Amino acid sequence: MYGKSLLLVSEPSLGADETAALADVISSNWITMGGRVAGFERAFAEAHGVGDAVAVNSCTAGLHLALSALGIGSGDEVIVPSLSFVATANCVIYTGARAVFADIESLERPLMSLADAEAKLTPRTRAVVVMHYAGSVADAQAWRDFASRNNLFLIEDSAHAVGQDRGPIFGDLAVFSFYGNKNMTTAEGGMILGRDKAVLERTRRARAHGMTSTTSERLNARAASYDVLSLGYNYRMSELNAALGLAQLPKLAARNAKRRLIVQTYAEAFGKRPSGLRLPLLGHAPSAHHLFPVVLPQHADRSTVMSSLYEQGIQTTIHYPPIHQLTWFRQHCPGVSLPVTEAFGARQLTLPLHPKMSEADAEYVAGSLLQLLATLAGSGT
């Protein structure tokens, strides 16, 4: 086992600051949505160059609220990538709309294909969700032009791309994830950013049952009651999650820079790679460098590669099984064919990438994979 421990694909960076932040919340005896959530919203919005933000308990909740706030519902269609976490499509279905899957551009550039999205347009298409796979941000101008030309709402699934490295917000709304494996974490949590104050206010109210005031607002105003102005959900962020976010956000730029260094180390270590091994999105900009995906040669059995690397102390995983090939979606969205996504999904492998890694770690991972692929090629496996 490498270094007597498993080198993980991702790992949160938590320490004394996060411990103290959580202890302060406990000591305050106010743990539900309050001042820390509001403070985190302001800080996150400022860090991304917008005036306001809405904190929620997951990116999934944020995507659902974003679609709902834009009026997406029954009878509508929303174009989404199949190469994403299942939540990207689930949130469309929550609204009663139909998720329409688009293919990726290529094995080297596994971002949603604008040409295929154009081909999937119908009179019912109301929105498109662009996902910044692995932290690599999609072409802002091209997608903005596409949305404007076709009178569509544009939503950024920015779960993989957070911080100034991702560049300016360009969608009507952008939604972020703070899950434990992301570039910054609140354990569970998400954030919605946008420039339309009215739309953001709809998401803010809907995250708390459509109520006109929160518990803390009623306490401070000494108000006895509230009203409900719209259908809403229980998508609130807690003070504990926000405290973690406030501790993590100031460290984000430095940690993204460390991720960029690890990616550069990988690029050098894989410089003389065998035919068939692809390093998608290498050199793509802008990028928050959330994942380091590779595409294995066709001759390499992925399960064998993953097991062999694990024996050498290297965890690997897959991002992602294409959504349209998952059982529920095969049953409810039959007949979907996305050849490039399917080819990518069959051969993709995610290698470790996180700020706790050293350059030597990245060199070890790359060397181990290259040696293993050479062995498999020699044996015909």
Please tell me the predicted confidence (pLDDT) of residue 345.
Answer: 98
Does 62 share its domain with 27?
yes
Does 219 share its domain with 243?
yes
Residue 244 has pLDDT above 70, yes or no: yes
DSSP, collapsed to helix, strand or coil, labels residue 212 as coil
Residue 16 φ/ψ, nearest 5 degrees = -65, -35
Please tell me the predicted confidence (pLDDT) of residue 260.
Answer: 98
Catalytic residue among 4, 120, 182, 251: 182
**What are 381's two structure tokens?**
């496996």
- The span from the CA of 27 to the CA of 42, in Å, is 23
Does 71 share its domain with 204?
yes
Per the structure, how many domains does the chain have?
A: 2
Return the bridge partners of 292, or none: 351
Residues sharing a CB contact under 8 Å with residue 307, sequence separation 6 or more, in sequence order: none
Spatial contact of 107 and 276, defined as CB atoms under 8 Å apart: no
**Which of 230, 251, 272 represents a domain boundary (last residue)?**
251
Considering the chain, what is the average pLDDT of its residues?
Answer: 95
- The span from the CA of 121 to the CA of 104, in Å, is 16
- The span from the CA of 218 to the CA of 211, in Å, is 11
- Is 182 designated active site? yes
Does 212 share its domain with 272?
no
Please tell me the predicted confidence (pLDDT) of residue 219.
Answer: 66
| Residue bearing the bigger pLDDT, 210 or 189 | 189
**Which of 200, 232, 251 represents a domain boundary (last residue)?**
251
Q: For 86-91, what is the mean pLDDT?
A: 98
- The span from the CA of 3 to the CA of 200, in Å, is 48
Does 280 share its domain with 294?
yes
**Type of residue found at 165:** D
Best CA proximity match to 54, nearest among 13, 46, 45: 45
Percentage of the chain beyond pLDDT 90 is: 90
pLDDT in tens, 140-169: 999 999 999 999 999 999 999 999 999 999
DSSP class of residue 251 equals G
Does 320 share its domain with 201?
no
Burial class of residue 87 (count of CB atoms within 10 Å of its CB; 0-12, 13-18, 19+): buried
DSSP 156-200: EE-TT--SGGG----SSEEEEE-BTTSSS--BS-EEEEES-HHHH
DSSP class of residue 274 equals P
Does 359 share its domain with 239?
no
Residues sharing a CB contact under 8 Å with residue 180, sequence separation 6 or more, in sequence order: 12, 187, 188
CATH of the domain at 297: 3.90.1150.10
**What are 152's two structure tokens?**
């569509």
Positive or negative, the CA dihedral 10, 238, 133, 15 is: negative
Does 245 share its domain with 342?
no
Positive or negative, the CA dihedral 340, 341, 346, 351 is: positive
CATH of the domain at 42: 3.40.640.10
2 pLDDT tier (thresholds 50, 70, 90): low
61 pLDDT tier (thresholds 50, 70, 90): very high
pLDDT in tens, 257-305: 999 999 999 999 999 888 899 999 999 999 999 999 999 999 999 999 9
Residue 25 has pLDDT above 80, yes or no: yes
pLDDT in tens, 348-366: 999 999 999 999 999 999 9
Residue 221 has pLDDT above 70, yes or no: no
**Which of 227, 251, 275 represents a domain boundary (last residue)?**
251
Does 219 share its domain with 282?
no
Please tell me the predicted confidence (pLDDT) of residue 210.
Answer: 82
Spatial contact of 159 and 193, defined as CB atoms under 8 Å apart: no
Please tell me the predicted confidence (pLDDT) of residue 115.
Answer: 98
Does 95 share its domain with 238?
yes
Cα atoms found within 13 Å of the Cα of residue 211, Cβ hemisphere only: 15
pLDDT in tens, 102-142: 999 999 999 999 999 999 999 999 999 999 999 999 999 99
Residues sharing a CB contact under 8 Å with residue 359, sequence separation 6 or more, in sequence order: 261, 262, 265
Question: Which structural domain, as residue segments, surrounds residue 313?
Answer: 2-9+253-379
Does 221 share its domain with 259?
no
Return the bridge partners of 55, or none: 191
Return the bridge partners of 351, or none: 292
CA dihedral of 217, 220, 226, 227, whole degrees rounded to 10: -40
DSSP 88-120: HHHHHHHTT-EEEEE-BS-SS--SBPHHHHHHT
Residue 380 has pLDDT above 70, yes or no: no
228 pLDDT tier (thresholds 50, 70, 90): confident
Does 319 share its domain with 239?
no
Global pTM?
0.95
Please tell me the predicted confidence (pLDDT) of residue 56.
Answer: 98
